[in-house]
């Protein structure tokens, strides 16, 4: 029997307070699970009460959407489905195209791969500066009118861009990296979301596994997406591991894991924050969801804040090319690749 988890709101949808980011089931991080294991993780999440699944056209160049489509669509009524456009495969490579024609094309491809005629929440994955945000949102507004999507989201965009987009069509969610070690959303976006009644979906709430203790002093393999990110490279890697060690002490004293402490921290920031940790492990999935049964004190979260000040984390979060596609505010003094 499917469990019932605490819930939060995203636009017209009521979703489990912790969702599942599906990316690393078929994209970016290594080791990658076999398809059968990926399917088991998705089905276990649904049985465990997760009702919010997040994928994108980019992930595995469509392979992740195909995975979700073949695994979950026979239980379509039980969950809220989110996917993304703008970043996708173009001529066999990762490409960025926010034009209305490209958005329509990618949406049709996503619907086919997902084996559905309706995506509940559809995001602009990144801001294409060559296309006015009003035109990109307008294309999604027409998709809403056509019944192909239910609500519109943005990803890694600024408060100013959110306001421009919201003036064209109500925005249901802003998705941005957010964890104790990446707190750019606190500069302006969280306040803007509160002002406009926009949910905030926190991706990489465990810092791409780093804050869960999944990365050691050897780092990650060269084929792993994280290898190119400055925070995962020497000398930043060593400096950041000292922060993880301090986080681990706090978690041990509180009787929880570091991953649970980070997820509880994100849930406590605002009542409209929905973290979507990803995992390839059923055990880690259950550990993450068990966070929702914890009752941790505010002073513990204050201790996390004291470790992860804006200046404490070493290194830029993205490479130069990736940072060029990020519209989210930076904080004063933030290192940029």
Q: Are 14 and 46 in contact (CB under 8 A)?
A: no
Q: What are phi and psi of 158, to 5 degrees?
A: -85, 170
Gap between the Cα atoms of 113 and 115, Å rounded: 5
Gap between the Cα atoms of 104 and 115, Å rounded: 17
pLDDT of res. 57 = 97
User: Which residues make Cβ contacts (< 8 Å) with residue 114, sequence separation at least 6?
Assistant: 55, 65, 66, 68, 69, 73, 81, 83
Nearest residue to 151 (alpha-carbon basis) of 52, 73, 81: 81
pLDDT of res. 226 = 95
Active site residue 178: no
Spell out the domains of the chain, with CATH numbers in brackets: 7-215+269-295 (3.20.20.100)
Q: Please, is 6 exposed, middle or buried when counting C-beta atoms within 10 Å of its C-beta (0-12, 13-18, 19+)?
A: exposed
Q: Are 182 and 317 in contact (CB under 8 A)?
A: yes
pLDDT of res. 91 = 82
Low-confidence ranges of the chain (pLDDT < 70): 1
Q: Are 124 and 169 in contact (CB under 8 A)?
A: no
Nearest residue to 226 (alpha-carbon basis) of 81, 65, 29: 29
pLDDT of res. 1 = 59
Cα within 13 Å of Cα(333), Cβ side: 6
Q: What are phi and psi of 9, to 5 degrees?
A: -105, 140
pTM of the model: 0.97
Catalytic entry in 13, 29, 59, 318: 59
Gap between the Cα atoms of 143 and 69, Å rounded: 20
Gap between the Cα atoms of 114 and 116, Å rounded: 6
164-176 burial: b if 16+ Cβ within 10 Å, else e: ebbebbbbbbbbb
Q: Are 134 and 161 in contact (CB under 8 A)?
A: no
């Amino acid at each position: 029997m499917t469990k019932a988890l605490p819930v939060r709101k995203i636009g017209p949808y009521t979703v489990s307070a912790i969702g599942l980011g599906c990316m690393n089931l078929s994209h970016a991080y290594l080791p990658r699970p076999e398809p059968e294991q990926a399917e088991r993780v998705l089905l276990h999440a649904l049985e465990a009460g997760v009702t919010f699944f997040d994928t994108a056209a980019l992930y595995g160049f469509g392979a992740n959407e195909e995975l979700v489509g073949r695994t979950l669509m026979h239980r379509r009524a039980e969950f809220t489905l989110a996917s993304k456009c703008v970043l996708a495969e173009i001529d066999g490579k990762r490409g960025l195209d926010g034009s209305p024609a490209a958005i329509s094309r990618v949406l049709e491809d996503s619907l086919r791969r997902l084996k559905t005629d309706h995506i509940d929440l559809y995001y602009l994955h990144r801001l294409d500066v060559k296309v006015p945000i009003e035109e990109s949102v307008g294309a999604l507004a027409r998709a809403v009118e056509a019944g192909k999507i239910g609500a519109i989201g943005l990803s890694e965009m600024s408060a100013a861009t959110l306001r421009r987009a919201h003036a064209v069509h109500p925005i249901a969610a802003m998705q941005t990296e957010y964890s104790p070690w990446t707190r750019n959303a606190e500069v302006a976006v969280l306040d803007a979301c509160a002002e406009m009644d926009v949910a905030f979906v926190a991706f990489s709430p465990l810092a791409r596994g780093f804050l869960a203790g999944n990365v050691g002093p050897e780092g990650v393999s060269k084929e792993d997406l994280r290898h190119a990110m400055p925070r995962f490279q020497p000398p930043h890697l060593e400096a950041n591991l000292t922060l993880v060690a301090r986080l681990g002490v706090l978690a041990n004293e509180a009787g929880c894991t570091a991953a649970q402490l980070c997820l509880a921290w994100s849930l406590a920031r605002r009542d409209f924050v929905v973290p979507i940790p990803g995992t390839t492990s059923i055990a880690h999935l259950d550990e993450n969801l068990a966070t929702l049964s914890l009752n941790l004190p505010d002073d513990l979260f204050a201790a996390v804040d004291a470790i992860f000040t804006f200046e404490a984390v070493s290194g830029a979060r993205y490479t130069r090319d990736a940072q060029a596609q990020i519209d989210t505010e930076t904080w004063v003094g933030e290192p940029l690749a």
